[in-house]
């Protein structure tokens, strides 16, 4: 029985590349200066630079944008989370239930809602709120807060968020990146994106 090693290696490499290509999330380019609706909602933003939209969604009312890949910079839109629902899709309602946004949730409780979500969904044992203060989002009174957490890759990530409750629905935008270098490099782009958000 004879083996054609180069041919076998080429076949294995081709199969591996096919699997990688299949598993990789598709990106859609969001061009600088072009207004676009996000997360299937009436929230529109006008980016000040080009971004990529990931096809994978963490929840029904969400959309994630990145420039260099979601592990390096990640903007997530939560566009109209209705009362009684979690921020992201639950893996198991029985084993790993997520905290829910409710009609009685207050703006000052939104950072705690995000923290509880991350502790379960991202398995983050370390989440620290750095600041929280009144802010404006989508032309409404809201909350602005900053935080940091350690993800499963054991990198410390910084986050910044703006949120508002409008007609009993939660609207929020978050930005996260590794604390060293990446956060500061993209923070101004995130703030420009957040300030461009309009609810039509």
Tens of pLDDT, residue by residue over 155-187, are 899 999 999 999 999 999 999 999 888 999 999
Longest dimension (CA), the chain: 75
Task: Measure the CA dihedral 186/190/191/195, to 10°.
Answer: 160
pTM for this prediction: 0.85
When the pLDDT of each residue in the chain is averaged and rounded to a whole number, the result is 88
pLDDT at 153: 80
Domains and CATH numbers, the chain: 26-199 (3.40.1000.10)
C-alpha to C-alpha distance for 170 and 133, rounded to whole angstroms? 17
In sign, the C-alpha dihedral spanning 85, 87, 92, 94 is: negative
pLDDT tens, residue by residue, 11-52? 433 433 333 333 344 578 999 999 999 999 999 999 999 999
pLDDT score recorded for residue 184: 95
Helix (H) or strand (E) holding 98: none
Q: Please name the residue that has the structure tokens 């591996």.
A: 16
pLDDT interval class at 10 (50, 70, 90): very low
Alpha-carbon dihedral 129, 134, 135, 139, rounded to 10 degrees = 140
């Amino acid at each position: 029985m004879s083996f054609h090693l180069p041919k076998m290696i080429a076949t294995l490499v081709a199969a591996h590349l096919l699997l990688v290509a299949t598993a990789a999330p598709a990106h859609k380019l969001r061009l600088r200066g072009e207004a676009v609706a996000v997360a299937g909602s009436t929230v529109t933003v006008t980016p000040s630079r080009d971004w990529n939209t990931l096809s994978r969604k963490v929840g029904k009312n969400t959309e994630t944008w990145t420039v260099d890949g979601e592990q390096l910079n990640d903007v997530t839109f939560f566009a109209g989370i209705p009362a009684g629902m979690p921020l992201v899709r639950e893996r198991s309602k029985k084993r790993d239930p997520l905290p829910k946004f409710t009609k009685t949730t207050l703006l000052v409780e939104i950072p705690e809602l995000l923290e509880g979500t991350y502790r379960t969904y991202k398995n983050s044992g370390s989440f620290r709120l750095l600041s929280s203060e009144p802010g404006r989002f989508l032309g409404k009174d809201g909350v602005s807060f900053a935080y940091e957490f350690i993800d499963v890759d054991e990198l410390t990530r910084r986050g910044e968020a703006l949120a508002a409750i409008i007609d009993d629905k939660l609207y929020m935008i978050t930005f996260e990146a590794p604390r060293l270098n990446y956060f500061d490099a993209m923070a101004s782009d995130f703030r420009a994106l957040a300030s461009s958000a309009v609810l039509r």
